Structure 1
């Protein structure tokens, strides 16, 4: 695998994860299959130098379950699965649709409940290109009703340096939460 050293020749605790691609991204032969994660403390307008070598032991990464979830309203409350991710400062809770529902400050014990939604507007969809608007009006919605984006796929990774939570909604977009662990 790989070893990373800082500029003062001290080894750095790293993590190598399989790269995440949502359905809307093209998998190209030049796409990186893995990503290298390392903690770095860099001041504003500063820089840091790291050195990479491929001489080290192989470590495995534990993957949490991947699940497909349906629209929350269709599920019975007893069937709802939640996912938690935390470090020593914060705990995040995600519902079965992959949406963030609460944030807990572990130092103060304060819980903030919230409701995350992703909505979309349908476009005008002109049949003839000559009728298509230009400029900012190209993306003009067809009406004022917003439609919820549901049927998301979620996955979580729990690893040494980073806890990462991905969610994709109908291959239209994806989002990611990252919490770094204290080393």
Structure 2
């Protein structure tokens, strides 16, 4: 059996030079690495690859039909919305994505947004940056009402991986 060929279609979206990509070399005999792939370059970049790794490059029905060597698409993210899953299945191409990726970081970000929006942080940041706070006659700008979280109820919509993690923290 000949060694597999792989292609990374949009490496710049996941690597800023800080990833050790050498373990990939144990999976495939040869890797082609592209910092980005424009829609007009997809088929050229896929070439004879059996494995494609993508983060944001869309692989639609027409691309999957034309990529006759492709057997596996690895998505370097959680979502699969940019891959035509039905076409992949019809052409015998397996699709794998990253599950449970960055769950703690996403939950932390949700709470940061809750606090920032409740305290009107973006509004007050703009007021300070524009000088409005410093120029106010009372040196205390109160243009944006701040709500407190005390006594409020937090509703969690969606109870998948992220919903469960938010519920554990809350």
TM-score range, shorter chain: under 0.3
Q: Tell which has more relative contact order, 1 or 2 (C-alpha 8 A, sep 6+).
A: 1
Q: Which has the higher strand share?
A: 1
Identify the structure with the greater helix proportion: 2
**TM-score normalised per structure 2:** 0.20
Larger Rg: 2
